[in-house]
Amino acid sequence: MILVYILLILFCLYLFFIHPGLRKMEVIDAFKKQKYFAHRGLYDNDSDHPENSLKAFQNAVDHGYGMEMDVQLTKDGVPVVFHDFKLGRIARDENNQPVEGKVYDYTFEELQHFHLLNSTEKIPTFEAFLNLLHGQRPVIVELKIENSDRELAVCPKADALLSRYQGIYCIESFNPRGVKWYKDHRPDVMRGQLSSMFTKTNSDRKKYWFMYFIAQNLFENFLTVPDFIAYDAVYWKNFSRWICHRIYHNTAVAWTIRSQQQLDARMKDYDIFIFEHFAADQTK
């Protein structure tokens, strides 16, 4: 009996730690109605509208999709739209060579000397993105926060622009500190926790196994109280994600769906879908 009581107590603690937000918000209904969100815009990295470019976002608007995009800070504190912390995969210099270093190693003016892959598109400011979108479609804003307090500054910097924005938006982050910043400073804003099975996917998973275990099982939900959980669609069977969605009825967001077949297969497991590399069927 003692063992049963211990196990019961541990399970109750588990439910407490992963407990997500349960509030009802009109903006959540608006996101569920939009349902399909183009990952980093409706992009093609072999074209003139690569990921996280203004042309890719305009393309998403033109096709009736919402969109998900990424914000981080430059060396001089300008919020810009770029996914990777390192520039090399996407940014090219005047000789069309991959750019070394990270976004925050350069000022915004310095970043404007680079272009995105084989296009003439530049890394846009977050403000330019919001001006382009102009409230036409709902947007999921991912706050890119690596480890330091310096990167956490993206929260107030981005919020200064979002607080004046007239369109529908929400924020999300892999880093619970970013989600908690919004809980503490802008509790009226819809916020989400991004996660995945980090102990399977990250190259340094052996070194940071415990930290990744905590994150992938959403044990910090009691601190951040997220309005939605955005979970890697490949790992849709994660037990904590399932409880948050099915037991607590928290909104479930899938990232990143890469085919219509995968989208159809996960339709009953998520409420909102972030997709790329195909045009999601909006009639379903």
**Quick check: helix, strand or coil at residue 68?**
strand
Q: Which amino acid is at 83?
A: H
**Amino acid sitting at position 280:** A
Work out the burial of residue 147: count CB atoms within 10 Å of its CB; fewer than 13 is exposed, 13-18 middle, 19 or more buried: exposed
Q: What would the pLDDT profile of 163-191 be if each residue is shown by its tens digit?
A: 999 999 999 999 999 999 999 999 999 99
Mean pLDDT of 203-210: 82
Identify which of 186, 155, 192 has the alpha carbon closest to the alpha carbon of residue 171.
192
* Domain range list for the chain: 23-275
| Amino acid in position 230 | A
What local confidence, expressed as pLDDT, does residue 216 receive?
97
Q: State residue 93's pLDDT score.
A: 96
pLDDT tops 90 at residue 67:
yes
User: Domain 23-275 carries which CATH code?
Assistant: 3.20.20.190
Average pLDDT over the chain reads 96
Quick one: what percent of the chain has pLDDT higher than 90?
Answer: 92
- Does the structure show a pLDDT above 90 at 226? yes
Q: Which two tokens stand for residue 43?
A: 């992009």
> Is the distance from CB of 89 to CB of 160 less than 8 angstroms?
no
- Helices (DSSP H) in 106-256: which residue ranges? 108-111, 126-133, 149-152, 154-162, 176-185, 198-201, 209-216, 221-224, 239-242
Among candidate residues 78, 82, 3, the one with its CA nearest the CA of residue 43: 82
For 129-141, what is the mean pLDDT? 97
For 193: left if phi > 0, alpha if psi spans -120 to 50, otherwise beta; the answer is beta
The alpha carbon torsion through 157, 159, 163, 166 (nearest 10 deg) reads: 100
Is it the case that residue 205 has pLDDT exceeding 80?
A: no
